[in-house]
Amino acid sequence: MKRIGELDLPGYAIGGLAVGETTQQMYDIIDAVEEFMPEDKPRYLMGVGTPQNIIECVARGIDFFDCVMPARNGRHGKLYTWGSEGSININNEKYKNDSSPIDETCACPVCKDFSRAYIRHLFKSGELLAMRLAVMHNLFFYNTLMERIREAIEDGSFDEFREQMTNDK
């Protein structure tokens, strides 16, 4: 990164992480290379993406991310929530008769129009709509996460936001 950082590029990327090392090792590597990344250019972390990872990496100076996680997890019934549970497995029996949305506080079209029980039914029936709705919800969640991160940075409350989000889940 020292050599790459000397190049006048439109942005800088870190890749090859989240492929077997521990989360702490990933953070340590980011900490080691981040100081050599120009501060006035975008910083991109490839393929990393639990909500907690994103928040921790933003705290380490990363600006943007890409990851298959919200879509892949959604297709398997793992849905992200803002509640203390963090995420739910919609395939669990306890959602069979649950008429509440995936997340009561979520404004996505899926949470506005469909219940946990209905989405679970779609998954159990093998309906492709189940995966589509789950992915839609998770992508909305991730977009909202990034929006909340930006707002917290802008209003100076990122440290509190980070503490709340990484300790609650």
In a domain, 20, yes or no: yes
> Considering its fold, how many domains does the chain have in total?
2
Average model confidence (pLDDT) across the chain: 94
Name the CA dihedral angle for 46, 59, 151, 40, rounded to a multiple of 10 degrees: -70
Domain boundary among 42, 67, 92: 67
In a domain, 112, yes or no: yes
In a domain, 90, yes or no: yes
At 77 the three-state DSSP class reads coil
- Residue-wise pLDDT for 109-159, tens only, equals 999 999 999 999 999 999 999 999 999 999 999 999 999 999 999 999 999
Alpha carbon distance, N-terminus to C-terminus of the chain = 33
Task: Provide the domain limits for residue 11.
Answer: 2-67
At 12 the three-state DSSP class reads strand
Q: Sort strands 87-89 and 78-80 into parallel, antiparallel or unpaired.
A: antiparallel
Angle between helices 128-154 and 51-59 (to 10 degrees): 20
93 and 134, same domain (yes or no):
yes
77 and 22, same domain (yes or no):
no
| Residue 21's pLDDT band (cuts 50, 70, 90) | confident
79 and 62, same domain (yes or no):
no
Judged against a pLDDT cut of 70, whether residue 168 lies above it is answered with no
57 and 103, same domain (yes or no):
no
25 and 44, same domain (yes or no):
yes
Please name the residues in contact with 40: beta carbons below 8 A apart, sequence gap of 6 or more.
none
pTM: 0.91
9 and 38, same domain (yes or no):
yes
Mean pLDDT, residues 13-39: 89
Whose structure tokens read 């972390």?
A: 45
Mean pLDDT, residues 162-167: 87
Judged against a pLDDT cut of 70, whether residue 56 lies above it is answered with yes
Confidence (pLDDT) at 17 = 77
Per-residue CA distances from 149 to 20, 34, 43, 95 (Å):
27, 19, 15, 30
Q: Write out the two tokens for 65.
A: 């991310």
Among 90, 105, 116, residue whose Cα is nearest residue 148 = 105
Judged against a pLDDT cut of 90, whether residue 160 lies above it is answered with yes
User: Half-sphere exposure of 98 toward its Cβ, with a 13 Å CA cutoff?
Assistant: 19
In a domain, 50, yes or no: yes
